Amino acid sequence: MPELPEVETVRRGIEATFVGSRVASVEITGVRTVRRQPADELVMRATGSVFTRTGRRGKYLWVGLDDAEALVMHLRMSGQLLAVPASADRVAHTHAVFRFEGNPLELRFVDPRTFGELFVTGLDLPELVRLGVDPIADRVGPKALGRLLAGRSTNLKALLLDQGVIAGIGNIYADEILWRAALRPDRPARTLSDSEVAKLHRAIKAILTAAIDARGSSLADQQYRDLEGEAGNYQLSHRVHARAGQPCRRCGESIVKLIVAGRSSYLCPRCQY
């Protein structure tokens, strides 16, 4: 569910609400929530530490613990991070709860499908070195993007989804980016002209920036919520995602749904090439 814009929105919420607070206690109840290390180890390393800063790389979110270690979180398909009063009822699938000294709000990790995870690691984030460039946090120019595409026979959809190449783009934003760039998802990457690479570069920046400004996308199931439990607004600006049969906002042709790179992919068959 959450892609770069949603994770960035949650990161900003944690920055505003919990940075500067000292962890009073950590409760891990989900059996799969902490799986790279014993849950007790995470509890011990986090308890007593101050949330000193936040960061994001692709879809991974992290919090500095005393500026000495990092608490890394990934929401995967259904994870939510929520700031709620400690007295509030816990919803089903609440797998982790962080309480803080002098902060009336606690941080809860809720994840029905249990694909999400938490772990504590070093500030150099060795688990994240495999990730490719972050299109928002890193300065990625059109030439750098062109080098990532060069010589690859893989299609654009698979490439945009490959976290080892570009980190943070998921199924919704890949489709929205490719529509904006007027490029088909099944187009082999190495066939792009310089001007098409430039268009793709502009579309990545524009779509992700607009989606962050809109605080992310909440689909019909309302599963994505920000730290305050509020829905995002970027779904109102979607041009292709989940719009099969509806008219293209650029040329009027019916949007179609294909499977590309094993994922549902929406595109305009007339104005994407």
**Where does this chain touch DNA (CB under 7 A) — which range of 19-27, 63-71, 193-201, 219-227?**
219-227
Q: Rounded to whole angstroms, how far apart are CA atoms 18 and 62?
A: 12
3: annotated active-site residue: yes
Q: Scan for tokens 């530490």, then name that residue.
A: 49
CA distances from 117 to 36, 82, 132 (A): 9, 15, 20
Question: 35 or 143: whose CB is closer to DNA?
Answer: 35
11, 45, 56, 59: the active-site residue: 59
- Interacting residue with DNA among 25, 52, 154, 233 (CB under 7 A): 154
Question: Does 17 interact with DNA (rule: CB under 7 A)?
Answer: no
The answer to whether the CB of 131 falls within 8 A of the CB of 60 is yes
Residues 204 and 230: their CA atoms lie apart, in Å, by 25
Residue labelled with tokens 């920046």: 205
| Cβ closest to DNA, residue 58 vs residue 103 | 58
**Up-side HSE of residue 229: CA atoms within 13 Å toward CB?**
9
The reply to whether 2 belongs to the active site is yes
**Cα dihedral 249, 250, 252, 253 sign:** negative
Q: Which of 45, 56, 59, 187 binds DNA (CB under 7 A)?
A: 59
Stretch that binds DNA, among 63-71, 73-81, 135-143, 193-201 (CB under 7 A): 73-81
Q: Report if residue 73 touches DNA, rule: CB under 7 A.
A: no
Our CB check for DNA shows the closer of 52 and 237 to be 237
- 12 tagged catalytic: no
Binding of residue 195 to DNA (CB under 7 A): no
Q: Does 59 qualify as catalytic in the annotation?
A: yes
Among 17, 25, 223, 233, binds DNA (CB under 7 A): 223
Helix (H) or strand (E) holding 117: strand 117-122
Residue carrying the six token digits 């809109």 = 214
Among 136, 166, 172, 183, binds DNA (CB under 7 A): 172
The answer to whether 239 contacts DNA (rule: CB under 7 A) is no
35 interacts with DNA by CB under 7 A: no
The pair of three-digit structure tokens given for residue 14, joined into one six-digit string: 């944690």
